[in-house]
Amino acid sequence: MLQVIGIIAFVFAILFSIAWHELGHLIPAKKFGVKVTQYMIGFGPSLWSRKKGDTEYGIKAIPFGGYIRMIGMFPPGPDGKVKASSTGRLTAMIEDARSQAQEEVLTPEDEKRTFYRLSVPKKVTVMMGGPVMNLILAFILFTIVLVGFGTPSTSLTVSEVTACTPSISNGTVTTGCVNGAPASPAAAAGLKPGDVLTSFNGTPMGSWDQFSQAIRQSPAGPATIGLIRNGQPMTVTADIQVVDRPVVVDGQPTKEIAPQGFLGMSPDIVLVRQPLSAVPAQMWDLSIRTAQALVAIPAKLVGVAQAAFGGEERDPNGPIGVVGVTRISGDVAAAEVPANFKVVQFLGMVASLNLFLFLFNLIPLLPLDGGHVAGALWEGMRRQIAKFRHRPDPGPVDVAKALPLAYAVAFILIGMSALLLYADVVNPVKIG
């Protein structure tokens, strides 16, 4: 039941993010006098719609997308008219798009309200409005997570004591009390969940990472551990063992194995609130990593295809489609963790989605918003060059000429989405 609730909640979060994005286009377009005929959430047949003023507002059957429709997105031909389509495929594609852009320009008043007549700054504002709204929503959600709830951090409170000393065979760590494995040093010393660690061999410990590093660097033999149990300070002696263990780098275990000290316990995870000043830094770091992931998507898709059709394990750091992310949201909702941790993970996923939408739409290719922004900036540059050279205004940039490339990009995006959808169904990314 909780899994279903998590899935439904994330679907609504996606719809809200789309609606929020399109609102970023709608508001400035109407502010600048552009006639907007449609504001739609989704694609395909309409489930519901209502017309208010010039604009039809509605929801369509396929929820993963949306758009606003502005009259005159593409300018007419050089003669000011829309020519009949020619027999050439590319030319026909361009002229058909130009014709569709002009078909709703019914009156001289409509002609004044076309998108292509806007100034360059206004065009950029309209097209950047959507991505910027996603960025704003991401910032709000990250602020709620970091400042309101906090980030998951290890504490010095013992969550679990390992019963037996693990062993490594062929690079695989074997846990549990098998094959007569000896009791872990922590279990033998009588350490218990809820103990708050304070020192190691007389050295005060300020964090779990410090404590864990001290253990790993410790030689075999007895060690004194200071702790607080039920409010009372006490000291226990544990016989540290040196065993083969994965090397930890930046808090994450690697595939490298080396002899290290072992005690046998895990920390409690708590939420630590962050100051408001930490939000921009966190978002910048995530933006860099998201941009790097975007660049790596073509190469990563090879691994997705191998996992989908060859049965190989999915890379948890590889691209995930909408279905996969929605499924993970359901798994998060069903996980046996405190409710505040679920909220943090859910809001973090929605925030990351909006940050991704912001960066993805900045790619300067049609049909993405960045393609229209690039066209507007090129238009402004042409006009400034013409003004500097005392030549006539060259007029609006004919973005319609880039439509063949736009269709190619759209075809690639559809293919990528289809691959991720199939992979997310037959071989989904697993968490935990």
Active-site positions? 22
The whole-angstrom distance between residue 85's C-alpha and the CA centroid of its chain comes to 42
DSSP 279-338: HHHHHHHHHHHHHHHHHHHHHHHHHHHHHHHH-PPPPTTS---HHHHHHHHHHHHHSSS-
Tokens read off for 82 = 């829309």
SS3 385: helix
Q: Report whether 145 contacts 354 (CB < 8 A).
A: no
DSSP one-letter code for 167: E
The phi, psi pair for 71, rounded to 5°, reads -75, 145
- 261 within 8 A of 222, measured Cβ to Cβ: no
Separation CA 120–CA 116 (nearest Å): 9
Q: Which region, left, alpha or beta, applies to residue 267 given φ > 0 means left and ψ of -120 to 50 means alpha?
A: beta
**3-class DSSP assignment, residue 204:** strand
Give the separation between CA 240 and CA 217, rounded to whole angstroms: 10
Three-class SS state of 394: coil
